Structure 1
């Protein structure tokens, strides 16, 4: 029987792909702890010994279906259409896992859900996937990677149901899978003319709104306690309204695969809580 052997919420923000010298200049001499957090996350993944890493991509927006990439191999050079002035010329070459993608579609069809596999190696990549592949050195380990989209015409229970199909397919597969929810918590950007409140650009006080900081930290505490039921209970009245990146699709699919409201996997912070252009970011590991 297959199993989820680890899961994490992981920041992918583009600033992490800049050179250390520039990051330190932006950070008033102190680098982002998210960079050190990637090393901590690499250790967790190595210890989990996954057969596949699944990335729940909060930048891959689809309509009508939750898509699962099922190509055998992805090769190319990535340039961001959002920030091409510094996120460009990024080569990638990694294996996919078509069998798992197709298994997820099969289970979803059984359950009356909306997960579908797309097995085309020319499918475009998003930096919520590419940045993690690079920072976690998944190409070097030759670990297969399967990305899952964020379907934009869904309500939050649809994402949980998508995760349920993913979790069942993993159980039937015989594979060991690490799931990475690639995205931020609160995702309100600062205005283009924004001036930092703190000289360290990544400092939490530069998150766009005090109420977002408070809410993000409240969610982090619930994660540490393993109280995913309370996070879901508060979704409509709090986290959907902030909102979280991709309306929380990355987290909701992850927790759906791990049991939804019944999930009690406790979170371990692998980085400080930090700002990225006003959004709230952290790496958190969940041990199933």
Structure 2
């Protein structure tokens, strides 16, 4: 009973308040007033739909890139026979968490700027004739998101591969399967729980990210998290911000539902 009361007070009740506010009108100073209206949801799926679509697209692309990079990396770490090598590589994956996220994002501004390290290196190698405009683009946001959330995908997959019994691979090869077939039919399905958990841990925070797009994306990389943040600051629009928050939460809940269904299917298989 105390658990249900705690969940109601700190989760259900705030969500209901945000939901009610999202249907109210904007008053003076951006506060919510009566009467009720649907105009904020109309704006969300009208004028601001491109930002919602961009947020989902960047989050999905971030998840895919993290998976393509993170799975081989996690597999490499967990299959090292020398314990010291495994511990060092795992330490390097966790190392960015020792630095403040804001500082790490600012570091990418230095790297991606027109006078930054990457442009300087490309110019010195003669690969480009003039600096590339990488900062304040969706590309910069994507780089920042992948860098920030890659460890969240590596660690669950690492845990799954660590628990994997490689005798199954030997058995598959004894039955005539090559390395690729053994991986696709044996290793990947049995490590899928870690893959699903990692994808959820990357996609969900990426959708609502606002620090990375704010610092690296500018107006071209604006995401729904930035839009929500602006609506609740100064003379913004609290009802519109609430409507945007409800829509973003619906996207998050849908992704969680997909994760739960896929996880149950894997366990059933």
Shared fold per TM-score greater than 0.5: no
Q: Which has the higher strand share?
A: 1
- Of structures 1 and 2, the larger Rg is shown by 2
Q: Which has the higher helix share?
A: 2
